[in-house]
Amino acid sequence: MADVTFTVDGKKLTAPAGTLLIDACKAVGIEIPAFCYYPGLSLQAACRMCVVRIEKMPKLQTACTTTVAEGMVVQTETDEIKQARKATIELLLGNHPLDCPVCDAGGECELQDMTFKYGAAESKYVEIKQHREEQQWSPVVFFDRPRCILCYRCVRVCGEGMDVWALGIQNRGVSAVIAPNGQDHLECEECGMCIDICPVGALTSGTYRYKTRPWEMTHVATICTHCGDGCKTTLGTRRSNDGMEIVRGDNRDKSGINGDFLCIKGRYAFDFANRTERLTKPLVRQADGQFKEASWSEAIDFAAKRLREIRESKGGQAIGVIGSNRTTNEENYLLQKFARTVLGTNNIDHHRTVDYVSFAAALAGKSERTASLRDTANAPAILLLGNDPTEQHPALAWNLRSNVRLNRARIYIANHAEIKLRRQAKQFLEIPKDGYASLVQYLAGNDSVVAANEQTAAFRDAIRKEESLLIIFGSEFRGRDIQALVEFGLSLPNTKFVLLGDYANSRGAADMGLLPDTLPGYVPVASAAHFADEYGAVLPQNAGLDLLQMFDAAQSGNLAALYVVGSNPVTRYGVDPAVLKNTFVIVQDMFLTETAQLADVVFPAANLYEKAGTVTNTYGDIQLVKKAADKAGVRSDFELIVRLADRMGADLKKLVPFGRGVRADMGQTRGAQSGEADRHSVWLAAHGLEPKLSPFDPFATLDEIQRLVPSYSFSRLELLAGSDQHAKSELVQISAAPARRDLVLPSQDTLFTSGTLGRYSDKLKEVLDSHTTPKPVEAAAD
Amino acid sequence: MSIVRNIAAISKGMSITFKEMFQPTEVENYPDGPGPTRGAVLQDRFRGAHVLQRDENGLEKCVACFLCAAACPSNCIYIEAAENTAENRISSSERYAKVYNIDYNRCIFCGYCVEACPTDAITHGHGFELASLNATNLVMRKEDMLVPAVGMPGELAAHSDSVK
Ligand code: SF4
Ligand code: SF4
Ligand code: SF4
Ligand code: SF4
Ligand code: SF4
Ligand code: FES
């Protein structure tokens, strides 16, 4: 739209016509206070905090609903305005409790800030305040009614943003209150968006309330460990008896790819880390079949000795390695390097939730064809095939809804179930469960494969008319189906693709070569020359056993050892425990999972919130993971792999790149002063020394990854600054090798489950229970 | 003239000295004096060891707002908050301090915590005999600082949690 020029507080400003005055001011650093206005939600004009004086208008105007106009002259901070705002706050405080010392919002409360700013702390009212007891609406949502300032943000974010519409207004005028949909409780998606968006402490969170205060915590923005969307979540941690404990997850850092959004898992499901049954000491199985706690060196020595014996007597092909979907890229990379160079085997796999290999193969050599999660929020047209993002990719669902609401995006959905997102769809097509491949053929122009009718024809026509299409598809597509879908997509102009896999780093696991037939970057094992050069080792040339074959080999007695890192294949793939009875099993995990129970050695491992590195979400967005929490007694998987390799007699300098020279502490351990690291390296250089990094430093390994995997050639600076970087799929070199369909096992997670990990979250369990046992409807929340 | 001035100055000084010589001696006979302070005389404003107060119902005044900890320049207050329940009511508000420690190795008796407290829960008492041969003894717990609930209306309830 054309730009208009106007004056605010004597400054000449320009902004596109149609911009809200409050936004235009904010863009140039003029802050207009607002309680009810929230960018991206509908306008409410309920609070009157944003009033400004506009010349030629008789009364004060609300900046949150006024659009800028040519020649407008605006004052934002005059005595008159201050007085009006002060009066507004006085009214808001009329029945507001003096709760600040105990209120969860205290210290980050917008009402507190404004009261402080406009000095309305003394009340003119002498009447006794009306007290109401706090109400629990769900396991995660509590409501303290007198603290509510009726800004309606919660109502709008739940309705417009989440499309849940669980919150509403009861009564009118001074008796108006926020009320939940289930009379006295909430029936909703438990996302906690309403709590996050509440400017005061009226809505509080079940996990955090009354625990601590905002300034008492250390806030670390890291990546959610649950689904494949990779939201940035800010974890508030505080010191506890055995490390740093996470007390809150929220979305203060709205700079992430998820913008405003977090679902229940990113916000509340960090409590597995504090579970009492968490392993903190290595366990070694004794002759009598019982586990006994052992010291780290005993346990590692024991495991390394057995692995070495097996490698020497039976060769690498008798050893299998299973990696994880939630470990960092560096750990995954190191694990495959360890398997291939130290153990000498290609028997390495992980729980595949989708077929990334076929996807990479289909897109080999095509540039700019994969979309970031960010693109899903502004693509003009989207075709969603399979999957149920509301349950499995909540952040994607949020983006799609926002995209429709704010940009009028057109969404076309074909699914075998009536998924919730169909409510935002321009066209929804219900197809049989096995009808995805034929639908793609139909879309590509083959009329004979489906029983076409008017609806399918309209669907196809609409899609083919789109000038730029984002195709998002789920695990329903595997192998050749992906090939066919991509071919169809590429026949349209400007198509981008997204394959939806589960878990925080499934994509990273595939990209980093936790696969029996491909190395990092999907390089086939047979053409591994440059890897062999870099590693200075001979790599096994033949494809190894995949996950299912490993268990078959174990059954027939051909798998002497199995090393499982952060995975629970026994439950996932329904493996009979007897299969592993003659196999030496090493497991690294947080808990004694079903797989760990069958192990000979169990190492207590750290989770994603307790380590640093990078992860890649299912879209290919690479993000930085920062260490937030800490737990005495556990070790990161990275460290464990390195130590195991060391005890097996491997040359560590080849496994993890760390240089000669003196040990360099660039101030990391203390929190370096500005310029300190530079001075330190100048000093080292002047003395002809080279810094020696710790063998446990994952970033040295990231250097190696970036050297060997061209699709990961992104800006390190940007990554460290906290921005997401997109993997470059065009740089993948692969020849297609369709794998067994049954290797792909979608996690089938819902909003409230998260594989084995989710079972250890008390909050998720509580929410699940409350959703399966409907509450009796009692009296209305008055 | 300077000689005269010097003599005047000296005699002025000595006159005070001699006057004081004939005054009764005022020595605080601590620690052998009478009373609970064993002879020490303390001004009201004296800032000694902290006392955590109770309200008129015998409930703890502290609501674990962490403002004292935030105000403390030597960072010596450690608090863990917990929620009051109907069965276990410790303070009059929603939250109470499950753990409240002051590390007297570090406290500088500045009184900022007292200033910061919105509920007048933490005050400076007159306790000053804090020396110890073992530094770990200098971390005082809530139980060490809380006024006893004896004789207060909520005596029974309050006893359940917080008094030694
Ligand atoms: S909502 Fe804000 S102003 Fe109200 S009691 Fe809580 S912190 Fe204080
Ligand atoms: S938790 Fe989410 S779905 Fe539930 S009421 Fe709040 S905003 Fe709505
Ligand atoms: S509960 Fe919070 S977000 Fe909802 S209307 Fe009240 S103050 Fe606003
Ligand atoms: S959408 Fe996925 S990544 Fe985002 S918070 Fe939820 S579970 Fe975590
Ligand atoms: S008196 Fe000063 S140093 Fe001592 S606890 Fe209070 S604020 Fe801290
Ligand atoms: S922000 Fe404008 S009326 Fe509330």
CATH 3.10.20.740 fits A3-77, yes or no: yes
- Bridge partners of residue A113, in order along the sequence: none
> Beta strand A561-565 with A523-524: parallel, antiparallel or unpaired?
unpaired
- Let me know if domain A110-274 sits in CATH 3.40.250.10: no
Q: Residue B119: list chain A partners with CB under 8 A.
A: 101
Contacts for A470 with CB less than 8 Å, ≥ 6 apart: A371, A375, A376, A379, A381, A382, A383, A495, A496, A497, A498
Residue intervals of chain A classified under CATH 3.40.50.740 are 283-353+507-659+691-732
Contact A100 B93 (CB under 8 A): no
Report strand pairing: A495-499 vs A410-415. unpaired
Task: State the virtual CA torsion across A688, A694, A697, A703 in degrees, nearest 10.
Answer: 30
Contact yes or no for A209 and B81 at CB 8 A? no
- What pLDDT does residue A577 have? 92
Among A262, A387, A753, which residue has the most ligand 4 atoms within 8 Å of its CB, making it the best to mutate?
Answer: A262
How confident is residue A228, by pLDDT bands cut at 50, 70 and 90?
A: very high
Please, are residues A733 and A521 in contact by the beta-carbon 8 Å criterion?
Answer: yes
User: Where exactly does CATH 3.40.228.10 map onto chain A?
Assistant: 371-463+471-489+496-500
CA distance, residue A102 to nearest chain B CA (Å) = 6
Q: How far apart are CA A599 and CA A584, in angstroms?
A: 7
Contact B93 A212 (CB under 8 A): no
Q: Measured between beta carbons, which residues in chain B are less than 8 angstroms from residue A121?
A: none
Indicate if the pLDDT at residue B161 is higher than 60. Answer: no
**CA-to-CA separations, A408 to A397, A400, A459, A462, B141, in angstroms, rounded:** 15, 10, 18, 15, 60
Rounded CA gap, A471 and A298, in Å? 52
The pLDDT, as a whole number, for residue A777 is 47
CATH 1.10.540.10 fits A283-353+507-659+691-732, yes or no: no
A125 neighbors A93 (Cβ within 8 angstroms):
no
Contact A737, A550 (CB under 8 A): no
pLDDT band at A605 (very low <50, low <70, confident <90, very high): very high
B93 in contact with A, Cβ within 8 Å: yes
Taking the C-alpha atoms of residue A223 and residue A612, their distance in angstroms, rounded to an integer, is 10
Residues found in chain B:
164
* Cβ neighbours of B82 in A, within 8 Å: 210
Q: Which of A106, A209, A211 sits opposite B65 (nearest CB)?
A: A106
pLDDT of residue B157: 46
> Is residue A254 a contact partner of residue A260, using CB atoms and an 8 Å limit?
yes
* Nearest ligand atom owner, CA of B112: 5
Q: How far apart are CA A515 and CA A349, in angstroms?
A: 4
The answer to whether B71 contacts chain A (CB < 8 Å) is no
Mean pLDDT of A614-625: 95
Closest atom of ligand 5 to B68 CA is: 7
Distance from Cα B116 to the centre of ligand 5, integer Å:
10
- Distance in angstroms (rounded) separating the CA atoms of residues A604 and A624: 23
Q: Is A624 in the pocket of ligand 2 (CB under 6 A)?
A: no
Residue A738: C-alpha distances to residues A235, A377, A517, A734 (Å): 40, 32, 11, 12
Residues of chain A with CATH 3.30.70.20: 110-274
Confidence class for position A38, pLDDT limits 50, 70, 90: very high
- What is the CB neighbour count within 10 angstroms for residue B87? 7
HSE on the CB side for B120, CA within 13 Å?
3
CA of A521 to the centre of ligand 2 (A): 40
Per-residue pLDDT, A732:
65
CA distance B94 to chain A (A): 7
Range A460-463, long-range pairs (CB < 8 A, 24+ positions) = A462/A410, A462/A412, A462/A426, A462/A427, A463/A381, A463/A383, A463/A412, A463/A492
Nearest CA to CA, how far is A101 from chain B (Å)?
Answer: 5
Rounded to the nearest angstrom, the distance between the alpha carbon of A67 and the centre of ligand 2 is 30
- Tell me the per-residue pLDDT of A107-149, one tens digit each, with 9 for 90 and over: 999 999 999 999 887 888 888 888 899 999 999 999 999 999 9
Give, using CA atoms, the residue closest to atom 6 of ligand 5: B113
pLDDT band at A731 (very low <50, low <70, confident <90, very high): low
Q: Please name the residue of chain A whose CA is at the shortest distance from the CA of residue B91.
A: A102
Mean pLDDT throughout A463-476? 95
Flag whether pLDDT at A665 surpasses 60. Answer: no
Q: How far is B73 from chain A (nearest CA, A)?
A: 14
Of ligand 1's atoms, which has the minimum distance to the CA of residue A149? 1
* Enclosing H/E stretch for A615: strand A613-616
pLDDT at A690: 64
A717 vs A721: CA distance, rounded Å: 6
CA–CA min distance B19, chain A (Å): 56
Q: Give the integer Cα–Cα distance in Å for A773 and A620.
A: 39
Choose the weakest-confidence range: A191-195, A402-406, B126-130: B126-130
Instruction: Judge whether B83 is closer than 8 Å to chain A, CB to CB.
Output: yes
pLDDT of residue B164: 32
Q: What gap in Å lies between CA A310 and CA A121, rounded to an integer?
A: 75
| The ligand 3 atom nearest the CA atom of A152 | 5
Range in A250-259, A296-305, A655-664 the model is least confident about: A655-664
Q: What is the pLDDT of residue A677?
A: 62
A46 - beta bridge partners?
none
Pocket residue to mutate for ligand 2, from A186, A204, A261, A771, most atoms within 8 A of Cβ: A186
Q: What is the pLDDT of residue A647?
A: 95
| Strand extents, DSSP E, A363-521 | 381-385, 410-415, 427-430, 469-473, 495-499, 518-519
Q: What residues does CATH 3.10.20.740 cover in chain A?
A: 3-77
List, chain by chain if needed, residues with CB within 6 Å of any ligand 3 atom. Answer: A 148-154, 178, 197-200, 202-203
**Could you tell me if A742 and A548 are in contact, meaning their C-beta atoms sit under 8 angstroms apart?**
yes
Q: Which of A298, A250, A245 is nearest to A276 (CA)?
A: A245
**Residue A779: which pLDDT band, with cuts at 50, 70 and 90?**
very low
- When scoring A104, A144, A210 by the number of chain B Cβ atoms within 10 A, the one with the most, hence best to mutate, is A210
Residue appearing with tokens 């390695």: A321
Alpha helices in A408-536 (DSSP H): 436-443, 454-465, 480-490, 506-511, 529-535
CATH code for the part of the protein at A371-463+471-489+496-500: 3.40.228.10
Residue identifier of the C-alpha nearest atom 2 of ligand 2: A191
**Contact of A18 with A1, CB cutoff 8 Å:** yes
Q: Which helix (H) or strand (E) holds A720?
A: helix A716-720
Q: Which pLDDT belongs to residue A733?
A: 65
3-state secondary structure of A292: strand
| Residue B158's pLDDT band (cuts 50, 70, 90) | very low
Closest by Cα among A483, A383, A492, A489 to A431: A383
Please give the share of chain A, as a percent, with pLDDT higher than 90.
76
CB < 8 Å to B70, chain A: 213, 215-216
Q: Is the dihedral of CA A309, A313, A316, A320 positive or negative?
A: negative
Query: A250-259, A551-560, A656-665, A707-716: which range is least confident on average?
Result: A656-665
Instruction: Number of A to B CB contacts under 8 A, please give it.
Output: 36
Inter-chain residue contact B94 with A212, CB threshold 8 Å: no
pLDDT of amino acid A395? 97
Query: Which of A409, A532, A424 lies closest to A161, judged by CA?
Result: A424
Q: How confident is the model at residue A670 (pLDDT cuts 50, 70, 90)?
A: low
* Residue matched to tokens 């790819």: A257
Residues having CB within 6 Å of any atom of ligand 5: B 71-74, 76-77, 102, 107-113
Copy the structure tokens of residue A182.
């289930």
Instruction: Spell out the domains of chain B, with CATH numbers in brackets.
Output: 1-41 (no CATH), 50-161 (3.30.70.3270)
pLDDT at A1 over 90: no
Interchain pair A213, B95: CB under 8 A: no
Bridge partners of A603? Answer: A588
